[in-house]
Structure 1
Amino acid sequence: MRFFLQGLLATVVLASLPFINGAGQAQVLSTRGSDAAASKQVVSTESVRKGFAERFPGIDIADVRPTPFPDLFEIQVGMDLLYTDAKVDYILQGSLVNAKTREDLTAQRLEKLSQVSFDALPLELAIKQVKGDGKRKMAVFEDPNCGYCKRLHQTLSQVDNTTVYTFLLPILSPDSEVKARNIWCAKDQAATWRAWMLEGKTPPEAQCETPVETVLALGKKMMVQGTPAIVFADSSRVNGALPLADLKKKLDALN
């Protein structure tokens, strides 16, 4: 999806748009006020959705929202954000910036969209590894053949007092599915997983019922597009293997 959009649209940074100050006034097209105003927003949003679908058939639109800029609408496609006018005559791809505060509104929205409630994760479907007192928790979606995941585990070996829940997400190759099954069905899941990720010891053949299909469906729902995808206890999310200093800083902030 991202490559299609990059091929279709030029990247535009809106760095000098007039914004309205005040939290209560941030959304120009607001549901607050008269019934007529609320009706206008609903119609406008649905009209934008319909117009975009007509111009770009086959693209799944996750959401359409008004922005603080009058008559500019945000369109969510997967984990990408686009901007358009009410008639969908023009499309912008890039960062929407508040020129007064220098806040990147697009980055803020993407961070919010990526958040996942840690407490709502089905942790019983994950491999649990506890180190030290285990008070600093994180969940990671990983493919057994993911090189960056192995790099993450090398980093984690240098961090104390963690509980890591690993969701096996075999998306890279058929062999990933085989390894995920053998690891999940192992007598000691955590030890087998650790031996593979840190030492390269191939998991022995094993057979049992696995939650792989359920985890794949969960990953799709969460729009996990690559591994590792890390969800921290505060529900924030990071895609990719964090360097040691950044990971320690993040975990320390959770205490």
Structure 2
Amino acid sequence: MRVSRMLTGVALAFAAVATQAADPDQAIRQTLKSIQPDLPIEAVSESPLTGIYQVHLKGGRLLYASGDGQFVMQGMLFKVENGEAVNLTQKAESKGIAKEIASIPTSDMVVFAPKNPKTHITVFTDTDCGYCQKLHSEVAELNRQGVEVRYVAFPRQGIGSHGYNTLVSVWCSKDRQAAMNLAKNREEVPAAKCDNPVAKEYQLGQSIGVNGTPAIVLADGELIPGYQPAPDLAKLALQAGGESTQVSRTN
């Protein structure tokens, strides 16, 4: 993510950046925009830590800043409760990621659902990815345990790559499930073209911090990078939430 390249340490001080704004929201925005004009800031709000503000970026990512906008931090904020450290940053980012995932209609996904789903996972996938293929071989077991698997596209090699073209063919197939099965079995998928969400989903994945596949998002927005065996993944998915957290099946 470009933010990570911009903020290479846990904390960077921008003491040289002066601002005349008295309002923390305006001061923080001015500082960050002076560093990266296209930074997708959605909101600035008070953080649980007195005197520090949290900057919500599109995709659910968080930065922290002083009220005068001269100090910016990237990292995890923890709160100690009953002797245990609670990751407040992860909680807030998961909520933002869940919101982004909820914006994707299931008509833009390839869905493998059990008869009576108890929960769901959203998987950013690349058909050329070995661990994605391994995960796909366990979809039936996930379904058996009540976990609906929703695929969204993430061509690791970028737009125009072999993986991208295959994903487009899958999404443009009359039977997406059958086409996905072919791709995951390393069989040729008949070429097809149509208006499709592959590029948009790839960009969404980048915005929420996906940098490899499979990347699995639980119903509560927690992002799990990499493959997990079906028994472990089902347990995590069921703990994360039930069907009350499902996105709409309409466009």
Does TM-score exceed 0.5, indicating one fold?
yes
Contact in 1 for aligned 2:168/2:196 (Cα 8 Å): no
Q: State yes or no: 1:146 paired with 2:129.
A: yes
After superposition, the Cα gap between the structure-2 partners of 1:119 and 1:201, relative to the gap in structure 1 and judged at 3 Å, is same
Cα deviation, residue 175, structure 1: 0.8
**Whole-Å separation in 2 of the counterparts to 1:187 and 1:67:** 48
Query: Residue in 2 aligned with 1:194?
Result: 181
After superposition, the Cα gap between the structure-2 partners of 1:84 and 1:129, relative to the gap in structure 1 and judged at 3 Å, is closer
Query: Residue in 1 aligned with 2:65?
Result: 84
After superposition, the Cα gap between the structure-2 partners of 1:64 and 1:47, relative to the gap in structure 1 and judged at 3 Å, is same
Percentage of identical aligned residues: 19
After superposition, the Cα gap between the structure-2 partners of 1:70 and 1:252, relative to the gap in structure 1 and judged at 3 Å, is closer
Q: What pairs with 1:99-248 in structure 2 (closer than 5 Å)?
A: 99=80, 101=82, 102-116=85-99, 120-131=103-114, 133-134=116-117, 136-159=119-142, 160=144, 161-173=146-158, 174-197=161-184, 199-203=185-189, 205-212=190-197, 215-218=198-201, 220-221=203-204, 223-224=207-208, 225-226=210-211, 227-232=213-218, 234-240=219-225, 241-248=227-234
After superposition, the Cα gap between the structure-2 partners of 1:211 and 1:155, relative to the gap in structure 1 and judged at 3 Å, is same
TM-score, with length taken from structure 1: 0.69
**Whole-Å separation in 1 of the counterparts to 2:44 and 2:119:** 36
Query: Residue in 2 aligned with 1:58?
Result: 37
Query: Residue in 2 aligned with 1:75?
Result: 55
After superposition, the Cα gap between the structure-2 partners of 1:158 and 1:48, relative to the gap in structure 1 and judged at 3 Å, is same
**Whole-Å separation in 2 of the counterparts to 1:73 and 1:252:** 33
Q: State yes or no: 1:47 paired with 2:48.
A: no
Contact in 1 for aligned 2:30/2:69 (Cα 8 Å): no
**Whole-Å separation in 2 of the counterparts to 1:124 and 1:4:** 34
Contact in 2 for aligned 1:59/1:77 (Cα 8 Å): no
Contact in 2 for aligned 1:139/1:167 (Cα 8 Å): yes
Aligned to 1:246, what secondary structure does the other structure show? helix
Gaps of 5+ in 1: 13-41
Contact in 2 for aligned 1:11/1:93 (Cα 8 Å): yes
| Matched letter for residue 44 of structure 1 | P
Q: State yes or no: 1:250 paired with 2:236.
A: yes
Q: Which segment is superposed worse, 83-92 or 133-142?
A: 133-142
Number of equivalent positions: 220
Cα deviation, residue 145, structure 1: 2.1
Gaps of 5+ in 2: 13-21, 243-251
Aligned to 1:182, what secondary structure does the other structure show? helix
Which is greater in Rg?
1
| Matched letter for residue 52 of structure 2 | L
**Whole-Å separation in 2 of the counterparts to 1:120 and 1:171:** 22
Query: Residue in 1 aligned with 2:18?
Result: none
